[in-house]
Amino acid sequence: MILIVSTCSDKLSEAEFVEPVLAIVSGKRLDERVSIAAFDSISDKERISALAQSAERIIICGTALKDFEYLAVDWSWLCNVRVPVLGICAGAHAIAKSCRVSLSEDLAIGPCLVKVLKENPLLSSDSSAYFLHQKSVDNSDEMFISLAFREGRACLLKRKDLPHYLCLFHPEVLNPDIVENFLKL
């Protein structure tokens, strides 16, 4: 099962941030069951734990530029997840929060060049990517490996100890192959 977690506090935003990811996943994994959970339902530790344990992959989607309600919930359950996790923008923030890594102000809106620094299974070469965020992850070399950069700031990272990827841009807009590559991990 693929678990998709919505970080949208306004359900209308899911048309922009969750449905495109769902379309990519559904198009590539028709044999796979997909379950969608809202970020505010993850405070039920037993429910999210059961969903996460039965998941083969977890994708935590992004949300609107000024929507930060997802940061008010406890994401610590991610620390125990051993399957691959892809955090897209707000989802990357959630992974950082679960690791107690801080976020810093960093406004980025629109397409920007992403330069690959280290070989990785998600993005093989430099490409344009769509950004829509106000915060970046303060990369701790102890916790994450920086895989790609935008204007000198890490925008694609991986936890050193787990297959958890932090993508600070929206691959569902210009880079659906990143989601497809994630599904192959």
Domain ranges of the chain: 2-184
Q: What is the pLDDT of residue 52?
A: 73
Closest among 176, 64, 23, 136 to 39, alpha carbons compared? 64
pLDDT digits (tens, 9 = 90+) for 109-167: 999 999 999 999 999 999 999 999 999 998 767 899 999 999 999 999 999 999 999 99
Superfamily per CATH, domain 2-184: Class I glutamine amidotransferase (GATase) domain (3.40.50.880)
3-state class (DSSP) for residue 122: coil
- Tokens describing residue 85: 């996790």
Residue 68 has pLDDT above 60, yes or no: yes
Q: What is the pLDDT of residue 136?
A: 94
166 touches 152 (CB < 8 A): no
Q: Cα–Cα distance between 97 and 94 in angstroms, integer?
A: 5
Q: Which of 50-54, 133-137, 178-182 has the lowest mean pLDDT?
A: 50-54
CA dihedral 108, 75, 67, 135 (to 10 degrees): -20
What average pLDDT score do residues 37-44 get? 73
Residue 71 has pLDDT above 80, yes or no: yes
165 touches 158 (CB < 8 A): yes
Residue 43 has pLDDT above 60, yes or no: no
Q: Which amino acid is at 118?
A: K
156 touches 170 (CB < 8 A): no
The share of the chain scoring above pLDDT 70, in percent, equals 92
- Tokens describing residue 149: 């950069």
pLDDT confidence band for 32 (50 / 70 / 90): low
What average pLDDT score do residues 91-117 get? 95
